[in-house]
């Protein structure tokens, strides 16, 4: 049996303040095995991005438990959590989130340098070569296409060799063909390194490429029997 890498128990979270509070995650139980690829789907506003932020240790639960790679994140201090994220989690966003005044090489190397990794620029160069950008090392994000920027973001996410790669609509800002190439890259890196991949997408074809799909509705997971009995009712 494969090792469990993510375990959520009764995960509950309300966001906002005063009149604008939203009960975003409503007692979610979830278990994900090492090396799985999981596609999280569901309507807009159902809580998918928030769930990813909880898995990434970027959002804290109000109640419940979250264990990632054997660390109980709900029990860690802010410092310990930041340290854990740097070593264990890679994140890719829809809008790339690169630093505009840093080159592709610097975007990948500087976080490694800040984490006191040895030879950060050598690692960054190797990671960028591995995503096919060996000839774009000194380009700034504004000089790169959307697909190339997302490749830099993937290289940056993978550079610390995280156990868990999280992607929030990684192809959402790309045309169909470029999106397919980025998905190919994510799945090939996941397979090659045995990384666990959890992604959110509105693209049914991308979700179908994952080893498992999780449907979220109004902050709760849709039970498997409902997914099987009426899959067409689950808009993404
Ligand atoms: N900081 C916040 N304060 C108040 N409400 C919030 C906050 N962040 C998110 N929400 C609300 O929580 C709900 C879930 O948001 P979330 O971003 O997780 O949805 P999503 O499923 O990712 O949607 P989309 O598919 O549109 O990206 C939404 O109704 C949103 O308005
Ligand atoms: Mg979202």
Ligand 1 pocket (Cβ < 6 Å) reads 15-16, 20, 22, 24, 42, 44-50
The token duo for 213 is 């799909």
Residue in the structure block whose two tokens are 């509950």: 12
Q: What is the whole-number distance in angstroms between the Cα of residue 164 and the centre of ligand 1?
A: 22
Are the C-beta atoms of residues 41 and 49 closer than 8 Å to each other?
no
Contacts 24+ apart (CB under 8 A), 80-85: 81/57, 84/57, 85/56, 85/57, 85/58
Q: What is the pTM of this model?
A: 0.94
Q: Which residues pair with 8 in a beta bridge?
A: 30, 66
Q: How far is CA 107 from the centre of its chain?
A: 18
Q: What is the whole-number distance in angstroms between the Cα of residue 41 and the centre of ligand 2?
A: 10
- Cα–Cα nearest to 140, from 178, 132, 148: 148
Q: Cα dihedral angle (44, 49, 54, 56), rounded to 10 degrees?
A: 160
pLDDT averaged per 10 residues, the chain (length 236): 92 92 97 97 97 97 97 96 93 96 98 94 97 97 97 97 96 94 95 96 95 96 85 64
Q: What is the pLDDT of residue 1?
A: 65
Q: What is the whole-number distance in angstroms between the Cα of residue 228 and the centre of ligand 1?
A: 26
- Cα–Cα nearest to 236, from 41, 51, 49, 94: 41
- Cα–Cα nearest to 84, from 64, 112, 57: 57
Q: What is the pLDDT of residue 230?
A: 73
Pocket test for ligand 1, best of 19, 48, 53, 221 (most atoms within 8 A of CB): 48
How many other C-beta atoms lie within 10 A of the C-beta of residue 202? 16
CA distance 86 to 190: 18
Q: What is the pLDDT of residue 111?
A: 94
The token duo for 9 is 């128990």
Which atom of ligand 1 lies closest to the CA of 216? 21
Q: What is the pLDDT of residue 214?
A: 96
Residue in the structure block whose two tokens are 């639960």: 61
The secondary structure of the chain, three-state, reads: CCCEEEEEEEEEEEECCHHHCEEEEEEEEEEEECCCEEEEECCCCCCHHHHHHHHCCCCCCCEEEEEECCEEHHHCCHHHHHHHHHHHEEEEECCCCCCCCCCHHHHHHHHHHHCCCCCHHHHHHHHHHHCCCCCCCCCCHHHCCHHHHHHHHHHHHHCCCCCEEEEECCCCCCCHHHHHHHHHHHHHHHHHHCCEEEEECCCHHHHHCCCEEEEEECCEECCHHHHHHCHHHCCC
Q: What is the pLDDT of residue 89?
A: 96
């Amino acid at each position: 049996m494969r090792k469990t890498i993510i375990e959520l128990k009764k995960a509950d979270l309300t966001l906002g303040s005063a009149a604008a509070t939203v009960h975003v995650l409503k007692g979610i139980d979830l278990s994900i095995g090492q090396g799985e690829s999981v596609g999280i789907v569901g309507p807009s506003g159902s809580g998918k991005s928030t769930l990813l932020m909880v898995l990434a240790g970027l959002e804290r639960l109000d109640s419940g438990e979250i264990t990632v790679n054997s660390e109980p994140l709900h029990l860690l201090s802010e410092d310990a959590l930041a340290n854990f994220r740097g070593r264990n989690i890679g994140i890719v966003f829809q809008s790339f989130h690169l630093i505009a005044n840093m080159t592709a090489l610097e975007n990948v190397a500087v976080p490694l340098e800040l984490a006191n990794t040895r030879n950060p620029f050598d690692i960054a160069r190797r990671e960028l070569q591995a995503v096919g950008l060996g000839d774009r090392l000194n380009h700034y994000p504004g000089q790169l296409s959307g697909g190339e920027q997302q490749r830099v973001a993937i290289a940056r996410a993978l550079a610390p060799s995280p156990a868990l790669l999280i992607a929030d609509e990684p192809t959402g800002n790309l045309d169909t063909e470029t999106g397919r190439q980025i998905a190919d890259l994510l799945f090939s890196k996941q397979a090659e390194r045995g990384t666990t991949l959890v992604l959110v997408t509105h693209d049914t074809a991308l979700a179908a490429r994952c080893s498992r799909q999780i449907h979220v509705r109004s902050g709760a997971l849709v039970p498997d029997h409902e997914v099987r009995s009426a899959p067409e009712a689950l808009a993404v």
